[in-house]
Amino acid sequence: MEGVQLNMISKDRLDRMASMEKIRMILEEVKSGRIVVLETGLTPEEEAKLIEVTMLEIDHENFVGIEVESYPQKSRGFFERLFGKTKGRLTVIGPANRLKTLDKKEDLITALVQLGEG
């Protein structure tokens, strides 16, 4: 059967991984043409690191970057800002030539996954 492979990573598995481990795993999957779904997403710092490492990996021929779909962080109160841990939200990451955002709202993301090479 032809299609695009989706790897859905659970919160438990993500919690066991270090930040750089998550980023390397995501990029390896995405560079192989797979879509990665993260149950709890990444922290903002991890998202920035993912973008940074992606830029280093772009080769301008086979890999031109990633498409990331996630919801904005929920606004937090003063004490939550001080003591709470930033939690990521459901996130979908794929190769930029396969995953395309069609529409993004606060509570609904519509994306298109292309089967062949984009």
Partner 1 sequence: MGLIVRIRKRFSFLFKWFFKKDRMKIGIYGPPNAGKTTLANRILRDWTGDVMGAVSNIPHETRRARLREGVKIEVDGKSVVLDIVDTPGLATKIDFHEFMKFNLSEEEAKRRAKEATEGVIEAIKWLDDLDGVLLVMDATEDPFTQINVTIVGNIEARGLPLLIVANKIDLPNASPARLKAAFPQHPVVPASALKGLNIDSLYKSIAERFG
Binding site for partner 1 (CB under 8 A): 19, 43-45, 47-48, 51-52, 54-56, 58, 60, 64-73, 75-76, 81-83, 86, 96-97, 101, 103-106
Q: Which is nearer to partner 1, 2 or 103 (CB)?
A: 103
Q: Rounded CA gap, 54 and 36, in Å? A: 15
Region for residue 40 given its phi and psi (left: phi exceeds 0; alpha: psi -120 to 50; beta: otherwise): alpha
Q: Are 71 and 107 in contact (CB under 8 A)?
A: yes
What tokens appear for 54 in the block?
């992606």
Q: Which is nearer to partner 1, 2 or 107 (CB)?
A: 107
Q: How far is the CB of 1 from partner 1 (least distance, A)?
A: 28
Q: Which is nearer to partner 1, 1 or 118 (CB)?
A: 118
Q: How far is the CB of 6 from partner 1 (least distance, A)?
A: 19
Q: Which is nearer to partner 1, 3 or 60 (CB)?
A: 60
Q: How far is the CB of 10 from partner 1 (least distance, A)?
A: 21
Is residue 104 within a helix (H) or strand (E), and if so which, with residue range?
Answer: strand 99-104
Q: How far is the CB of 86 from partner 1 (least distance, A)?
A: 6
Q: What are the C-alpha distances in Å from 66 to residues 15, 51, 76, 100?
A: 23, 8, 28, 10
